[in-house]
Amino acid sequence: EALLKKANSARYYVRAHGGNKHQFYAPEMDEDIKNRLEMINGLHNALVRDELQLSYQPKVNLAEGEFHSVEVLLRWSHPTLGQVSPSDFIPMAEESGMIGELTLWVLRQACLQVHAWQKQGLPPIRVAVNVSGHQLQSSDFITALTDLLNETGLDPQWLEIEITESVLMQSPTAAIATLNKLRKLGIHLAIDDFGTGYSSLAYLKRFPVHSLKIDRSFIKDIEQSERYATITSSIIEMGKSLHLTVIAEGVETLGQMAFLKEQNCDEIQGFLYSMPVNADEIVRLKTNLQDQ
Ligand code: C2E
Ligand code: CA
Ligand code: CA
Ligand code: CA
């Protein structure tokens, strides 16, 4: 399927030799392809034109009802297409080779934001950044990350990286080596979208991560489906037995929260507590909590 995707996108553009520029040709130019082209072209300019923004979503500790970390989610307001979803433009960034630059930009902004919050006198907040497989496999990534930490002077414990289970399972042995290097830098590591990537307990034991995020697709149905509820509690139990912090994604209802609390899940993230919001709103949420 990945190959097919690659073949498809190769029809829309060719990477110009040696440079960063892309040349485009479109044999069957329909609306959809035109939009794709506009997006890929636009992505190059988005960084320069300041069209990208970071949104932050709290990961709330269930025992305390408070948050100490947030996930960064990228937002793009395209001048003509409007709000473009990261589920659409991240895959394009991956295919077009822009993902490296984009990820480093997000990481830098995240580091700067943590500093800014600390300066404002907020209690420390850890920021989690999504990193795709392409990055994980690149040897330059660790170097760039090390440079970034040195340059921004951020204590690495306030930075977290989320990597999906399916990316880790593409080549688990290589992934373990990379995770070990990242862990040595002192940053936190999380397995994202857990439950969708078919890893085994044997692998999970070998991944040197701090936390595990249960995919939203399980949480969505825990109230209706006994099956999903059972799977979810098994994942929580498994994670806890490996001393991992277990986080449930996409928590939208009080019922889901009650179930997760009962099952000793550590943290929840989702619309129930907060949508992804801007940096100022995080300050407001955090300050309100302190006042209570
Ligand atoms: P993800 O890492 O699994 O992020 C969680 C997604 O679930 C986010 O969608 C978030 O807005 C959404 N969400 C959070 N709580 C709820 C809820 O209660 N209900 C529902 N229905 N959805 C909820 P978003 O922001 O559209 O991002 C989609 C995906 O795009 C992310 O999935 C991630 O894979 C990718 N992505 C976003 N930002 C970045 C980035 O900076 N770098 C990379 N490589 N990928 C990113
Ligand atoms: Ca994530
Ligand atoms: Ca996720
Ligand atoms: Ca997801």
Token look-up 């760039």 returns 144
Whether residue 100 has its Cβ less than 6 Å from ligand 1: no
* Reported pTM: 0.89
pLDDT of residue 56: 98
Taking the centre of ligand 1 as the mean of its atom positions, its distance from the CA of residue 155, in whole angstroms, is 25
Residue 224 pLDDT level (bands cut at 50, 70, 90): very high
Whose C-alpha lies nearest to ligand 1, atom 46? Answer: 130
Residue from 192, 199, 207 nearest 250 by CA: 192
Residue 278 contacts residue 257 (beta carbons within 8 Å): no
Residue nearest atom 23 of ligand 1, based on CA coordinates: 250
Q: ipTM of this model?
A: 0.98
* 3-class state of residue 74 by DSSP: strand
**Given this model, what pLDDT does residue 49 score?**
87
Cα(221)–Cα(216) distance, rounded to whole angstroms?
9
The reply to whether ligand 1 has any atom less than 6 angstroms from the CB of 73 is yes
pLDDT tens by residue, 20-71 = 444 455 555 677 777 777 777 888 888 888 899 999 999 999 999 999 999 9
Rounded to the nearest angstrom, the distance between the alpha carbon of 73 and the centre of ligand 1 is: 6
**Would you give the distance in Å from CA 228 to the centre of its chain?**
23
CA dist 44 and 93 (Å) reads: 9
Map tokens 């991240």 to a residue.
Answer: 90
Residue 136 has what pLDDT?
87
What average pLDDT does the chain have?
88
Distances (CA, A) of 148 to 94, 126, 153, 159, 236: 21, 16, 8, 11, 34
Ligand lying closest to the C-alpha of residue 214:
3
Condensed to tens digits (0 to 9), the pLDDT of residues 250-289 reads 999 999 999 999 999 999 999 999 999 999 999 999 998 7
- Decide whether any atom of ligand 1 lies within 6 Å of the 217 Cβ: no
Q: What percent of the chain has pLDDT over 90?
A: 72
Structure-model confidence comparison of residues 18 and 227, the more confident one: 227
Confidence of residue 6 (pLDDT cuts 50, 70, 90): very low
Question: Would you tell me how many other CB atoms lie within 10 Å of the CB of residue 178?
Answer: 21
Per-residue pLDDT band for 18 (boundaries 50, 70, 90) equals very low
CA-nearest residue for atom 21, ligand 1, is: 250
- Please compute the mean of the pLDDT values over residues 122-138 and round it to a whole number: 93
For atom 3 of ligand 1, which residue has the closest CA? Answer: 193
Q: Whose CA is nearest to atom 13 of ligand 1?
A: 250
pLDDT, residue 137, reads 84
Greater model confidence, 55 or 7: 55
Any ligand 1 atom below 6 A from CB of 86 = yes
Strand pairing class (52-61; 267-268): antiparallel
| DSSP state, residue 80 | T
Mean pLDDT in residue range 91-96 = 90
pLDDT of res. 8: 46
Q: What is the dihedral of CA 232, 235, 240, 244, to 10 degrees?
A: -110
How many Å lie between the centroid of ligand 4 and the Cα of residue 269? 12
Which of 73, 162, 215, 268 gets mutated to test ligand 1 (max ligand atoms within 8 A of its CB)? 73
Q: For residue 116, what are its two tokens?
A: 């800014």
- Judged against a pLDDT cut of 60, whether residue 11 lies above it is answered with no
Q: Is residue 172 lining ligand 1, measured as CB closer than 6 Å?
A: no
Region 86-113 average pLDDT: 93
pLDDT the model gives residue 188: 98
Q: Does residue 13 have a pLDDT over 90?
A: no
Nearest CA to ligand 1 atom 12: 250
Nearest CA to ligand 1 atom 32: 87
Residue 14 has pLDDT above 60, yes or no: no
- pLDDT tens for 135-175 read 888 889 999 999 999 999 999 999 999 999 999 999 999 99
pLDDT at 38: 79
